[in-house]
Structure 1
Amino acid sequence: MIFYILIVLALIAWGAALSWKWKSVRDFSGEVLAAKKRDGELPESITEDMFRDLYVRSEGPRGQTYFFACAATLFLLLGPFVAAFNSVWKMFWMMSGQSPVFETGTLVHTFMVFLAFMGACIALLAAAMRRYYALTPPNLKQVLRDLNGAVK
């Protein structure tokens, strides 16, 4: 139980750190805008609200947020996944004549639980990374170019 509590506390700390990073990026956007205006990279007509959203999307910790979401999802679904797997395993074990080799808790069963959960982890991470790269926002250089083009 202590291990479970430690993992929950670690996830909460990780989530709080990510929230702080998102807030830091949001707060820092005003300084970046002022510096870019001062250097002449952006015209004075660009508002802070217009720039903040684009800056946060381009410079925020998106990758870390995806990893956190996957880790939290896998942690929360580990118990229900193993319970569902064991129910299906026990059903097939009983239908096969209850061979002691395939009984719940044997090495074969434990290895199959491991393989099934690793498959679920890989599937979730593949879906998350597919979404991450499909929705990749522009980098700051592209944002500046687009803002300069939108104003002219």
Structure 2
Amino acid sequence: MILFISLILVFLVWGTIIFFQYRTVEKDAHDIFKARRNEDKDIQKLGEDIFVEIYKRVHNPRGHLLNFGGAVASLICLPALFVVASWIWNSIWNASGQIADLDEGFAPWLFGITILCVFGIVAIAAVTARLHHHNRPKSLEQEIQIQLKGMSN
């Protein structure tokens, strides 16, 4: 029970941090525009609205949201991963001609199931990492240059 309460608290704190990061991005964008507009000619050419859009696209907590979603998906999928891992482990064990599953003790079975569940969690993490890195925007300066090239054409 303590594990479930602590997991819920971790996810609540993590979600709250992401929420407040998301809420502060636009304010930060306006502040950075005001601080840099006199020094940087490219930012002056863009104007405040376009700069804020670019800044929000580059600095939004999308990666944090994907990590959070991957962690929640891993937690939700854990029972299904356990069932699939048990089926795979038992099928391989029985097909190998070994003695019954638990005759050698609980440790080999638990080790195999744990490793297979970890493989499932790593697969979910790989999917979320792929989503993040495939769609991640470039740096702020590169995005500004891309926008300026689009405006000049």
The normalised TM-score by structure 2 is: 0.77
Question: Structure 1 regions of 5+ residues with no counterpart?
Answer: none
CA RMSD between the two structures: 2.9
Cα distance, 1:127 vs structure 2: 2.0
Question: Larger deviation: 141-150 or 69-78?
Answer: 141-150
Output one character per residue of 1:67-116: Cα deviation in whole Å (capped at 9) or x when no partner: 2222221122212322444456667888999944x139822221111111
Output one character per residue of 1:30-60: Cα deviation in whole Å (capped at 9) or x when no partner: 1122233232332366242x33332122122
Q: CA, structure 1 residues 34+88, in 2 after alignment: closer, same or farther (shift >3 Å)?
A: same
* Distance in 2 between residues matched to 1:92 and 1:44, nearest whole Å: 65
Cα distance, 1:17 vs structure 2: 0.4
SS in 2 for 1:41: helix
Q: CA, structure 1 residues 151+97, in 2 after alignment: closer, same or farther (shift >3 Å)?
A: closer
SS in 2 for 1:25: helix
* Amino acid in structure 1 at the alignment position of 2:38: R
Cα distance, 1:119 vs structure 2: 0.9
Cα distance, 1:63 vs structure 2: 3.1
1:140 aligns with 2:140: yes
Q: CA, structure 1 residues 45+93, in 2 after alignment: closer, same or farther (shift >3 Å)?
A: closer
Q: CA, structure 1 residues 147+38, in 2 after alignment: closer, same or farther (shift >3 Å)?
A: farther
Question: Larger deviation: 69-78 or 36-45?
Answer: 36-45
Which position in structure 1 is the counterpart of 2:102?
A: 103
Q: CA, structure 1 residues 137+65, in 2 after alignment: closer, same or farther (shift >3 Å)?
A: same
Which position in structure 2 is the counterpart of 1:118?
A: 118
The normalised TM-score by structure 1 is: 0.78
Cα contact 2:85–2:117 (8 A) shared by 1: no
* Count of residue pairs the alignment pairs up: 150
Question: Structure 2 regions of 5+ residues with no counterpart?
Answer: none
Percent identity for Structure 1 against Structure 2: 20
